[in-house]
């Protein structure tokens, strides 16, 4: 193996953090949940690159876990946000930008008649559930096993501190399985408020699965027949696959959809986009947050959506994803490995075939770090418009060297 990264400052920061932060870090960005040796703290980012606290540079394939869709520090997006900051951000009420952004989104998303804004994806998915229950007067929510919809008691992947009552009205089913969905709908009976689905199956450490049109149509038909709401959790995939909404290519329209991550290129913003049949529910509930009306992030969102609409950013990102997928397959094959690359190429899940305990994937990603590429061994990754052909080729070369490192160490599937 090659030498380890210089990481003395990162280690020192982790030691300091443990004194004042439980476990030193929380949530999905706690690197102890990835693999020992990952940098926890970063000093800057630009385009498709990040630098850790020790100054090590990486071509980044996590893109801030999704928000970076155009490139870190995109000049036009940041200029729009900063111009708004100089006037007002959080005030006694929103600015005109709120209305402009809602108008832009309803004109862009093929299923949207109205919008509400929040700060995080969990805010948006939770409000969608509340709106669906308010609008239908029912309680049961059907969701796919293993799907991630946020980190509050009704949906958190951890049940520590969660009561049975928090999840009393959730009914699980198996993603993509029409018979399983039929059974869940039957179990809900006349108390079905909503079916919530992620845009595609992106469970951790599993092959990703794109929805079939038939499956989405079946979910839509159940909601049409029962009067329930169909909710698309488009937090992760929204504004990466299709500006009209991730299900637009299937011709299936949700009643409610939750967006965040890429909506404002890293500025904190989330949105619910709803159809008119869900408007009464939205009008009847109380949902709010002190910073949900911040104008700077909305200005960034407005700029981001317009850039995505007026440029080839999405097509370029898809092309770079295809280039990366091909290069990684070839690099793996040269060293006697086989990859399982699933999901959209813009949001790839990359697993080593036969790597049952992810030990090989962990070692590969750690070796890639040492060669200047930031990958994730068990979570889907992200590309952005700032990734160019030279970045992809350099990353593939680095991963090729990482495969050589783990092969030399004798790490092979059992």
Percent of the chain with pLDDT over 70: 99
Q: Is the pLDDT of residue 1 over 50?
A: no
**pLDDT tens-digit series, residues 6-15:** 899 999 999 9
- H helix or E strand, kind and range, residue 116: strand 114-118
pLDDT higher than 80, residue 35: no
Q: Are the beta carbons of 336 and 356 closer than 8 angstroms?
A: no
Is 278 in contact with 207 (CB distance < 8 Å)? no
Q: Over the stretch 78-95, which tens digit does the pLDDT of each residue have?
A: 999 999 999 999 999 999
pLDDT of residue 158: 94
Burial label, 217 (beta-carbon count in 10 A; 0-12, 13-18, 19+): middle
Note the pLDDT tens digit of each residue in 289-330: 999 999 999 999 999 999 999 999 999 999 999 999 999 999
Instruction: Give the Cα separation of 30 and 3 in Å (integer).
Output: 24
Strands (E), 131-266: 140-144, 170-173, 192-198, 229-233, 256-259
pLDDT at 29: 92
Q: Tell me if 320 sits within 8 A of 352, measured CB to CB.
A: no
CATH (residue range 75-310): 3.40.640.10
Lookup result for tokens 């093929």: 110
pLDDT digits 0-9 by tens, 331-349: 999 999 999 999 999 999 9
Helix axes 75-85, 295-310, angle to 10 degrees: 150
Mean pLDDT of 378-396: 98
What is the pLDDT confidence band of residue 3, given thresholds at 50, 70 and 90? low
For 254, residues 6+ apart whose C-beta sits below 8 A from its C-beta are 111, 230, 231, 232, 245, 247, 275
Domain ranges of the chain: 8-72+312-408, 75-310
User: What is the per-residue pLDDT for 34?
Assistant: 85
pLDDT, residue 33, reads 83
Predicted confidence at residue 36, as pLDDT, reads: 80
Angstrom distance (rounded) from CA 217 to CA 414: 41
Q: What is the pLDDT of residues 138-174, one digit of tens each?
A: 999 999 999 999 999 999 999 999 999 999 999 999 9
Give yes or no for residue 119 having a pLDDT over 60: yes
Pick the CATH number of 8-72+312-408 from 3.90.1150.10, 1.10.10.60, 3.30.460.80, 3.40.50.11740: 3.90.1150.10
Q: Report the distance separating Cα 159 and Cα 155, nearest Å.
A: 9
State yes or no: pLDDT of 2 exceeds 80.
no
Please say if the pLDDT value at position 256 is more than 50.
yes
Torsion region of 37: left, alpha or beta (phi above 0 gives left; psi -120 to 50 gives alpha) = left
Encoded tokens for 170: 């959730």
Q: Are domains 8-72+312-408 and 75-310 of this chain identical in fold?
A: no
Computed over every residue of the chain, the mean pLDDT equals 97
């Amino acid at each position: 193996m090659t030498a380890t990264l210089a990481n003395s400052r990162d280690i020192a920061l982790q030691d300091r953090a443990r004194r004042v932060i439980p476990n030193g870090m929380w949530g999905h960005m706690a690197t102890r949940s990835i693999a020992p040796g990952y940098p926890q703290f970063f000093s800057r980012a630009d385009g498709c690159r990040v630098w850790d606290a020790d100054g090590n540079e990486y071509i980044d394939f996590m893109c801030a876990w999704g928000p970076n869709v155009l490139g870190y520090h995109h000049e036009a997006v940041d200029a729009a946000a900063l111009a708004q900051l100089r006037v007002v951000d959080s005030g006694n009420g929103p600015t005109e930008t709120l209305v402009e952004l809602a108008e832009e989104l309803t004109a862009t998303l093929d299923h949207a008649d109205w919008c509400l804004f929040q700060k995080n994806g969990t805010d948006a998915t939770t409000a969608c559930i509340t709106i669906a229950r308010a609008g239908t007067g029912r309680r049961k929510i059907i969701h796919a096993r293993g799907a991630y919809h946020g980190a509050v008691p009704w949906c958190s992947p951890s049940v520590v501190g969660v009561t049975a009552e928090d999840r009393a009205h959730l009914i699980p089913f198996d993603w993509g399985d029409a018979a399983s969905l039929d059974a869940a709908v039957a179990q809900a009976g006349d108390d079905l408020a909503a079916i919530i689905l992620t845009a595609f199956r992106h469970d951790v450490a599993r092959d990703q699965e794109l929805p079939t049109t038939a499956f989405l149509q079946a979910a839509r038909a159940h909601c049409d027949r029962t009067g329930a709401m169909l909710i698309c959790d488009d937090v992760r995939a929204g504004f990466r696959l299709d500006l009209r909404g991730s299900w637009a290519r299937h011709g299936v329209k949700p009643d409610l959809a939750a967006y965040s991550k890429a909506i404002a290129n890293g500025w904190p913003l989330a949105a619910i986009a709803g159809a008119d049949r869900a408007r009464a529910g939205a009008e009847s509930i109380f949902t709010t947050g002190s910073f949900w009306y911040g104008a700077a992030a909305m200005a960034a969102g407005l700029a981001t959506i317009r850039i995505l609409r007026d440029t080839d950013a999405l097509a370029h990102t898809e092309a770079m994803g295809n280039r990366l997928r091909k290069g990684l397959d070839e690099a793996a094959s040269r060293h006697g490995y086989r990859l399982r690359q699933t999901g959209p190429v813009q949001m790839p899940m990359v697993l080593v075939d036969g790597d049952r305990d992810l030990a090989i994937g962990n070692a590969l990603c750690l070796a890639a770090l040492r060669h200047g590429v930031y990958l994730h061994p068990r979570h889907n990754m992200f590309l952005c418009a700032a990734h160019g052909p030279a970045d992809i080729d350099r990353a593939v070369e680095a991963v090729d060297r990482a495969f050589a490192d783990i092969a030399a160490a004798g790490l092979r599937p059992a």
